[in-house]
Amino acid sequence: MPPSTSAAPGVRAASFRFRCIACGHVSDTASQNFRCSDCSDLLEITYPFSSNLGEKPVTPALADLKSAWKQRRLSAAPVDQSGVWRFRELLPKLETEQHAITLREGNTPLYEMPQCARITGVTDLLAKHQGMNPTGSFKDTGMTVAASFARQAGFRWVACASTGNTSASMAAYAARGSMRSLVLVPDGKISWSKLSQALDYGAVTCQLRTDFDGCLRLLQELVLRAPVYQLNSINPFRIEGQKTLALELLEQLDWQPPDHIIVPGGNLGNSSAIGKALLEMHELGLISRLPKLSVIQAEGANALVRTLREAGGKRLVSVQAETRATAIRIGNPASWKKAARVLEATGGACEEVSEVEIAQAKAEIGAEGIGCEPASAVTLAGLKKLVKQGFVKPDESVVLILTGNLLKDPDFTMQFHRGDLFQDTLGEAEVAGLQPLRRPPIVLDAKLDAILGVLAAAEKSDPVHLNG
């Protein structure tokens, strides 16, 4: 394995401590369930450069950081090629960095979205596609960090509850790190392609007769009874890895922050991670102002929306979750408090979108040649609402975070185009707006004339406008 590049002088991987998000208790170790030993709330990782330790922050030299991060792109070492470990000065320090379990995650593209820009009226619209990660979702950026710490701590087993993507990612990183993995998923409520990934990567996969929230509850009990390391986003190492999405985004934008970043919300680990990264970058002086971070949920899984609207963000309002965007079918989000705080700190909004709005937005993103899974499409659907409300202005810059690959949920896409996605749930009038976006497969006799006829009809009903 090639050695990693030596960092610039004074640039070191960060030492770290655990800090309770509620009572502020700081400790060097965390318990199996990653809860505060004093008050049971969630832990976060904190560094010598953070001001929340009550000590004078130690600030690294920014020019050194930026050039070390850039320089590593030219290195052949796995930790330097990783779009996560490349930013290791803002991540917890491994005993031996060559021991990082990496699939060269991160390094995801930032795409212009001209058609969606026209649809929303927001001209400066970009999408950061986390579905281009090795297992097809943003989970890989957190998993490389948390799985590496699991192995460093000597665990043989890792486990998670999942709506599909976490389990696919965990199973891959466990396999790469020679650990066994245990997956708890809700029976019948995750897509086959995500489930098949966990099987292929050798996980012991349990389909439980409950929902995601029930799976997560059982996992919390399990980790207290068995020597199993939990890899849900309650695990603060996951959050640290997922922070790099925002670091990489800002580097791609030459450290000029966009006005808005919009992200889907499920268990609320990702929004917490992006928010933590933005606040740390701001505190360090890597960016001069904070983008507004907004979270979008499905109407049927809108716990954070209701928590903010009905309880002023003071207590969680849980819901019985139901949505075809199965990745975010979560009613009792573990990281709600962290997410509520970063929304407040950045001045972001929290909105909900309907099933039809999600399906329409997914097809519109697909028509750009990008493609994403339904949960990711809530971002575009949410942006349309935020523009209507005047929260996002047409001349502001916006980045949508697409969290999962189109191929993660082919059933949804097929049903949409065939026209039976909402067959049992909605009436024809309610789905009429989706009709122009449908492109069902056409079964024909194997004759040239038949194909020419289809071509002519398609050109007539939907002419191609080059450069249009």
Instruction: Note the residues at the interface with ligand F0G (CB under 6 A).
Output: 137, 139, 162-166, 233, 264-271, 327-328, 373, 375-376, 403-404
With beta carbons less than 8 A apart as the criterion, state whether 236 and 34 touch: yes
For residue 351, the minimal CB distance to ligand F0G (Å) is 14
| Closer to ligand F0G by Cβ: residue 82 or 233 | 233
Interatomic CA distance for residues 457 and 447, integer angstroms: 16
φ/ψ of 147, rounded to 5, equals -70, -35
With beta carbons less than 8 A apart as the criterion, state whether 337 and 21 touch: yes
| Closer to ligand F0G by Cβ: residue 68 or 278 | 278
Q: How far, CA to CA in Å, does 57 sit from each of 24, 283, 333?
A: 16, 10, 32
φ/ψ of 445, rounded to 5, equals -65, 150
For residue 403, the minimal CB distance to ligand F0G (Å) is 3
What sign results for the dihedral spanned by CA atoms 247, 249, 253, 259?
Answer: negative
Pairing of strands 157-161, 228-230: parallel
For residue 373, the minimal CB distance to ligand F0G (Å) is 5
| Closer to ligand F0G by Cβ: residue 211 or 248 | 211
For residue 328, the minimal CB distance to ligand F0G (Å) is 5
Interatomic CA distance for residues 241 and 237, integer angstroms: 6
| Closer to ligand F0G by Cβ: residue 20 or 298 | 298
Helix (H, G, I), strand (E, B) or coil at 9: coil
| Closer to ligand F0G by Cβ: residue 14 or 268 | 268
For residue 458, the minimal CB distance to ligand F0G (Å) is 32
For residue 387, the minimal CB distance to ligand F0G (Å) is 21
For residue 160, the minimal CB distance to ligand F0G (Å) is 7
For the record, the structure tokens of 422 come out as 């909402």
For residue 447, the minimal CB distance to ligand F0G (Å) is 42
| Closer to ligand F0G by Cβ: residue 72 or 129 | 129
Identify the bridge partners of residue 45 per DSSP, sorted by sequence position. 18
Residues, the chain: 468
Q: Which of 95, 381, 89 is nearest to 243 (CA)?
A: 89
For the record, the structure tokens of 50 come out as 């953070």
| Closer to ligand F0G by Cβ: residue 211 or 368 | 211
Category of 251 on φ-ψ map: left (φ > 0), alpha (ψ -120 to 50) or beta:
alpha
| Closer to ligand F0G by Cβ: residue 60 or 404 | 404
